[in-house]
Amino acid sequence: MRTDERIALLDQMRRVKEQGEKEVQAPEEKTLTLEDALAALSEGKLELEDGRLLEFEICPYFKEEFPFICFKGFYQASQEDESGRILVNHTEGVSQIINWTPQKRAAKTLEQWSNLLVNGMAANRLSAQILKKKSLETVEYFCFEVPAGEKRVWNILFRFKTQWMEFTGNYNCLKEDVGTYGVLLEAMVVKLDEWMRKREGACADGRSYQGV
């Protein structure tokens, strides 16, 4: 082996070793799980890896006073009336929308509901990618992505299964933020189901339900 070849080989070995050391030393990026998000909602706050603090609050809404969780001190614009509420943070690309309409449900099952959305988007030459479907005890939901200009938006669409047929909710964030905002928004829906189960249990036992 020539001298220049040995030098090149040694240099390559050095770079491989340095890269390996960097990979070992680099801290693992913590992934926010649904369980972590549920715990944060119960605590009322979550500190992100970049040091930002997210806080949460309960916003009872409609005459039934459903206990929706919202980001506290987070939204830049809001609109509400008897038919629903819209909360938007334009900077972060996050919104929470709850809607109450007198229209009857066109889709009876979760499968029909998700198919109805996909077909409706396709009719408008848009592609909706279904990512997840989940049926809980009182609430059912599905997660999907849709294009929005050069980006993609992640959505979670949810409703009650057997009661309050007039209600639907839609929370969304940018696809790139699914690991934080998306997980938290899904946890908010799961938490709603948990509270509604407690309320139904309290009513069945003849007790009054006081929310959280």
Global pTM exceeds 0.95: no
Query: What is the reported pLDDT for 26?
Result: 47
d(CA 33, CA 186): 11
Of the candidates 135, 138, 134, 110, which has an alpha carbon nearest to the alpha carbon of residue 195?
Answer: 138
Domain ranges of the chain: 34-204
pLDDT tens across 102-157, in order?
887 888 899 999 999 999 999 988 889 999 999 999 999 999 999 988 899 999 99
Does 204 have pLDDT greater than 80? no
Task: Report the first-to-last Cα separation within the chain, whole angstroms.
Answer: 75
Which residue has better confidence, 8 or 103?
A: 103
pLDDT tens across 22-79, in order?
555 545 557 899 999 999 999 999 999 989 999 999 988 877 788 899 999 999 999 9
d(CA 82, CA 188): 22
Of the candidates 66, 103, 70, which has an alpha carbon nearest to the alpha carbon of residue 86?
Answer: 70
Quickly list H helices, 74-207.
110-123, 183-204
Give the CATH fold of the 34-204 domain: Protein Transport Mog1p; Chain A (3.40.1000)
- Angle at which helix 183-204 crosses helix 34-43, to 10 degrees, equals 60
The token pair at 92 is 């972060």
